[in-house]
Structure 1
């Protein structure tokens, strides 16, 4: 069973439209063990509602474990009618491409073939159902 720990959102101003960019940091636990971290961001007022995110999976919860024990999966979420769509993106297209503690950031093709891809989609399912900030954004 997954449980998400929600940090307070932070905001900044979008350079293109001066609207609020909302950034989220979330910690995911599986059976009460540290399982993943995700970052997500979206901008209010853009013509297309699109969330950009990254999920880092692997070993968390211990100072002895380094980034080499984790992999990161960059993605986007948007609506198609009443359905959520999740698309993986290449590392260079992620706003977190410079963040090293998340682990090696996979490109789309490698991420889709990775054995952890089902965990990524499981977490994105919870994001659009359980993360009230994300639910409100897409409402």
Structure 2
């Protein structure tokens, strides 16, 4: 992971899970590389329900220039398990961020895993947010 990544947590939202009625949290923020904005992220999970895999969404691209919209949505599902867990790239078209006017393209799983440079960047972003956003304590505990 790049030592130059900086995670800046922003806001959060709570709602109710449609299938179980538990509290669902969505947190979001930004990741900077060498002080330049690189991505916006959203993480969504259902409280106390590790059986509802948390979603990690990253909108990666050019920020700060409204004339350029090259932002691509990369989405992951986190499958927690005792002693760890794993991330799996998923099709991002069904994720809420895909409907944002900021999103130029919602990538498929295949588009992510078949692009080595993008896959590396996306996994670096997961590492940065996993370690850098303290609001993910409950999600990290799902994997213990």
1:110 equivalent to 2:98? Answer no
The correspondence of residues 1-139 of structure 1 with structure 2, limited to 5 A, is: 1-46=4-49, 48=51, 50-66=53-69, 69-114=70-115, 115-139=117-141
| Structure 1: distance between partners of 2:136 and 2:100 | 22
Contact kept, 8 Å, 2:6 with 2:128, in 1: the verdict is: no
| Structure 1: distance between partners of 2:120 and 2:46 | 27
- Hey, which bits of structure 1, 4+ residues long, moved more than 6 A? none
| Structure 1: distance between partners of 2:53 and 2:135 | 13
SS in 2 for 1:91: coil
Name the count of aligned residue pairs: 137
For normalisation by structure 2, the TM-score amounts to: 0.84
| Structure 2: distance between partners of 1:2 and 1:107 | 25
Structure 1 portions without partners, runs of 5+: none
Question: Which protein, 1 or 2, shows the higher relative CO under an 8 Å CA cutoff with sep ≥ 6?
Answer: 2
CA root-mean-square deviation: 1.7
For normalisation by structure 1, the TM-score amounts to: 0.87
